[in-house]
Chains A and B, each alone.
Chain A
Amino acid sequence: MMNEVVCATRGGEASRAVQMAAIEQAKANNSPLVFLYVVSPEAVKDVEPSLKKAVIGEQIWLGKVILKVAEDRAEREGVRATKVIREGDVRQEICSYLTEKQARLLLLGASRSTTFSVFGDDPAERLASSIHENTGVDVAIVRPGREDSDSYYSYLVPA
């Protein structure tokens, strides 16, 4: 069984960059591609208990749309992708999915206004190394490029 390339996406600033980078990786290595969206009810602040269920429902709805956009992007590049929605703590859910599927590579997006940190204090890098330590899976952080530049993303795949 070929090991999966997993792209964790939430529809933010780096979503296109991280999805395209994942498609490129899957294509280059002929690996199955999975777009993973984690619904995290705790992430939305000030939700009263009576609305929690509805908020989760709407997050799932948004997740479906975001994953559909990603799937269409992959299809246009000739790559078939699987969509997965999970519910719970983002870090834990990503780790348990990677372990269950024995994935090969995880791609995470980070905002355009940050750069790769020299001192290892970047939160995205901290998250990436925490996932790598827990699962042993390689994690790449993808940042979108500027609109006017040739490359619309940049990332480093760990050796």
Chain B
Amino acid sequence: MHFAPLLAEESVLIQTEVSVVLLLSLAALIAIVIRRIRFPYTVALVLVGLLLSLISNPFQIDVSSDLILAILVPPLLFEATLQIKWEKFRKDLMPILLLAILGTLVSTIIVGEIVTWVLDVPLLAALAFGALISATDPVAVIAFFRNLGVSKRLQLLVEGESLLNDGIAIVLFNMAIAFAVSGIDPAAEGFSLLSTGLVTFLEVAFGGLVIGLFLGFITSYVILKNVDDNLIETTTTVALALGAYVLAESFHVSGILAVVAAGLMVGNIGMQNTSPTTRLTLEHFWEFAAFLANSLVFLLIGLEIEINQLGPNIIPIIVAVLAVLFSRAIVVYGITGTYSYFAKLQQKIPMSYRHVMFWGGLRGGISLALALTLTGEVFGVVFANEIKVMTFGVVLFTLLVQGTTIENLIDRLGLARRPEHLVEYQRRQARLFALGAGLNEINRLGREGILFRDVWNAVLAVYNEEINETKHAVRDHLEAHPEIEQDLFIQARTEALRAERSAITEAMQSDLISEDVHEEITKEVDEQLAAITIIQEDRREMAASRPPGSEIKSESDQKGGNDE
């Protein structure tokens, strides 16, 4: 009988489950608190993780590079790429590719050289660090930029670079390790090393892209087009996101680029081939999956960083941070400046965008995952530890310093897409909500006899007067800016349609209607919801793409007439 190993295995499984439950509860708690204060969610997760690791790490989870790269990162990348429209991506593909490929290579060399020169780390170890720290982290970047309200183009430039540069970073990192293992001296090899590297990079990058595109194509044209069941279709996309990574890695090509390619394919073709109901299910499911994975990645980053190691290694960390900032500045300003010099007027990258791209180059889970793969066998224990500590330091710096100040920078550069008239409307509306809450409280105190009738009446009268004045202020503002009205109509319609959808489901659950009728009417409402979303996005897109003073031209030219 072999019960003992079985029980031991089960106990590890249960312990892991308990840890996951605790981590999720913690993430939910942080998310609730964060809603009330103005602070980036991801930074809060890292800080709480750090705090817990200081006290005692109660979680029985082994944070390996595989856990981050193979399980947590693919859903995040897949969700991010689902939302990227190829038409827009294509327009900025050149600067994105330049930043992702040339930028990562240049940054790896600059960081590697500085670290070797200043800290006396062997060149290949320094280049391995340069590679793992040069790629901006899509998880961190996307988590921050989604909430900043910047223009779609700036978001796309930053996200696009971060999605594609991991492929080359991982190739460069693996090459540095392979050369170290086989005793190759990069200074002596020179050109042949460069050509070997280029061939390896092309194989790994294109291999990953081909596998991702192939699997994405099959999913989009075979499953999403022909199977009309939202649950089966969603399950297939989960298998695709995780499977693309695993399959590509098993062929020794880029798993990350495979997930990116699969996501782009499903987002641009698969989503068009499926029903609105499935589309909504996919959007909601992947939004949830990304939130889940995001929460775990950042909590685990906090838990994994050995904070007690940071103090004694402060000099290498400062050198690494400065090297990373210096190389980022050279790459961003150099590449975007050169590109803008030759690009057409509309394709030039404004200087304000470049500042955000420089300061928004955050590092996160992928750098950490690569650093965790280092053991003493290749570069020796001392240098492997030094690389890990420098990685911890740079990741913490980018998340805690750059991550908390990027919003301020965007505001100062005037890139936050919040028109003043909308902010003013929200301000007046907020005052109205606040006064309404105050009035309710006064009424409660009056009804419970805590306030005397005379006092109650007097306070009530003043409150009612203030509420009326604020209502007028809201109405005046709406009349002066009727374009806000349309947003309100759309918002009301969306909420009403959601209520209709729930009512249909309730009717089916109460056996008032059959499943067939439920499916038919739900499909209809889902189409209406999809349509209103399209109209709203179209309006936002047009508003965002209009430079001041060009409203009539864009609208009437694009819409063939009446601009108003």
Which residues of A pack against B, CB within 8 Å? Answer: 8-16, 18, 38, 40, 42-48, 50-51, 53-55, 57-59, 61-62, 65-66, 69, 89-91, 94, 108-111, 113-114, 122-124, 126-127, 142, 144, 147, 152
Q: Which residues of A contact B549 (CB under 8 A)?
A: 113-114
Partner of B562, one of A8, A44, A122: A8
Q: Note all chain A residues with C-beta closer than 8 A to B563.
A: 12, 14, 108-111, 123-124, 127
Q: B478-515: which have CB < 8 Å to A?
A: 479-483, 485-486, 489-490, 493
Any A CB within 8 A of the CB of B457: no
With most chain A CB atoms within 10 A of its CB, the pick from B532, B556, B561 is: B561
Nearest A residue to B272, CB-CB: A48
Q: Chain B contact residues: over half helix, strand or loop, or mixed?
A: helix
Chain A residues with Cβ under 8 A from B534's Cβ? 44, 46-47, 51, 55
A84 to B481, CA, bound (A): 24
A11 touches B483 (CB 8 A): yes
Residue of A nearest to B85 (CB): A46
A51-B530, A152-B480 as given contacts; A9 in contact with B564, CB under 8 Å:
yes
Which listed residue, A8, A55, A147, touches B531 by the CB 8 Å rule? A55
Note all chain B residues with C-beta closer than 8 A to A54. 276, 527-528, 530-531
Complex: A91 Cα to B538 Cα, angstroms:
20
Are B479 and A16 in touch, CB under 8 angstroms? yes
Which of B527, B541, B563 has the most chain A CB atoms closer than 10 A to its own CB?
B563
For this complex, into which size category does the number of interface residues on chain B fall? 35 or more
B559's partner among A9, A13, A90 (CB-CB below 8 A) is A90
- Distance A47 CA – B481 CA, assembled complex (angstroms): 28
A142 to B552, CA, bound (A): 12
B532: chain A residues within 8 A (beta carbon): 58
Is residue B306 contacting chain A, with contact meaning CB distance below 8 A? no
Contact B564 A43 (CB under 8 A): no
- Which residues of A lie under 8 Å from residue B561 when comparing CB positions? 38, 40, 89-91, 94, 127
Cross-chain contact of B551 among A11, A13, A40, A46 (Cβ < 8 A): A13
CB neighbors of A among B103-126 (8 A): none
A127 to B481 alpha-carbon distance, docked (Å)? 23
B482's partner among A11, A57, A62 (CB-CB below 8 A) is A11
- Write out the residue numbers on chain B whose beta carbons fall within 8 Å of the beta carbon of A48: 272
Q: Is the CB of B272 within 8 A of A111?
A: no
- Given A55-B531, A58-B531, A66-B486, also A15-B564 (CB < 8 A): yes
Q: Nearest chain A CB to B39's CB is how many angstroms away?
A: 34
Whole-angstrom distance from the CB of A67 to the nearest CB of chain B? 12
Does B562 contact A108, Cβ atoms closer than 8 Å?
yes
Residues of A within 8 Å of B481, CB to CB, are: 13, 147
Q: Is there contact, CB below 8 Å, between A13 and B483?
A: yes
A127 touches B562 (CB 8 A): yes
B residues near A10, Cβ cutoff 8 Å:
562, 564
Is there an interface contact between A44 and B538, defined as CB atoms closer than 8 Å? Answer: yes
Q: Most chain-B CB neighbours within 10 Å: which of A50, A58, A109, A110?
A: A58
Q: Are A43 and B560 in contact (CB under 8 A)?
A: yes
User: How long is the Cα–Cα vector from A61 to B532 in the complex, in angstroms?
Assistant: 10
The answer to whether B564 and A123 have CB atoms under 8 Å apart is no
1/0 contact trace for B463-489 toward A, CB 8 Å?
000000000000011011111011001
State whether the Cβ of B9 lies closer than 8 Å to any Cβ in chain A: no
- Does B196 sit at the interface, judged by CB under 8 A? no
By a CB distance below 8 angstroms, the chain B residues around A40 are: 559-561
The 6 closest A-B pairs by CB, nearest first: A109-B564, A90-B561, A111-B551, A54-B531, A54-B527, A147-B480
* Given A16-B480, A44-B535, A51-B530, 7 new contacts (CB under 8 A): A50-B527, A51-B534, A54-B530, A55-B535, A66-B485, A90-B559, A108-B563
In the bound complex, residues from chain B placing their C-beta under 8 Å from that of A11 are 482-483, 485-486, 489
CA distance A113 to B564 in the complex (A): 12
Which residues of chain A have C-beta atoms less than 8 A from B527's C-beta?
50-51, 53-54
B562–A69 touching, CB < 8 Å: no
Q: Which of B535, B541, B553, B562 contacts A62 (CB 8 A)?
A: B535
- Indicate if the CB atoms of A51 and B482 lie closer than 8 Å: no
What's the minimum C-beta distance from B364 to chain A, rounded to whole angstroms? Answer: 32
**Chain B residues with Cβ under 8 A from A44's Cβ?**
534-535, 538
Separation of A113 and B534 alpha carbons in the complex (Å): 26
B310 CB to closest chain A CB (Å) equals 48
Of chain B, the residue at the smallest CB distance from A53 is: B527
By a CB distance below 8 angstroms, the chain A residues around B528 are: 54, 57-58
Task: List residues 510-564 of chain B with CB under 8 A from any CB of chain A.
Answer: 527-528, 530-532, 534-535, 538, 541, 548-549, 551-553, 555-564
Q: How far is the CA of A40 from the CA of B555 in the complex (A)?
A: 12
Do B530 and A12 have beta carbons less than 8 Å apart?
Answer: no
Pick the residue among B486, B548, B560 that contacts A12 (CB under 8 A): B486
- Some 19 contacts from A to B, beta carbons below 8 A apart, are A9-B564, A12-B483, A14-B563, A16-B480, A38-B562, A44-B535, A46-B87, A51-B276, A57-B531, A62-B486, A91-B560, A91-B561, A109-B563, A110-B551, A111-B551, A111-B563, A124-B556, A127-B563, A144-B480
Task: Give CA–CA (A88, B455) in the complex, Å.
Answer: 61
Using CB atoms, name the residue of chain B closest to A113.
B549
CA distance A22 to B477 in the complex (A): 21
Most buried by A among B527, B532, B538, B552: B552
User: Closest Cβ of chain B: how far from A154's Cβ, in Å?
Assistant: 14
Cα A11 to Cα B558 with chains together (Å)? 17
Instruction: Determine the distance from Cα of A47 to Cα of B532 in the docked complex, in whole angstroms.
Output: 11
Inter-subunit contact A59/B535 (CB<8 Å):
yes
Residues of chain B within 8 A (CB-CB) of A47 are 534
Question: Is the pair A122, B483 in contact by a Cβ cutoff of 8 Å?
Answer: no
User: How far apart sit A139 and B521, CA to CA, in the bound complex (Å)?
Assistant: 44
Once the chains bind, are A108 and B564 in contact (CB under 8 Å)? yes
Cα distance, A63 to B123, chains bound together (Å): 67
In angstroms, Cα B477 to Cα A16, docked, is: 12
Q: How far is the CA of A66 from the CA of B532 in the complex (A)?
A: 15
Q: Which residues from chain A contact B551 at a C-beta distance below 8 Å?
A: 13, 110-111, 113-114
Residues from chain B with Cβ under 8 Å of A61 in the complex: 493
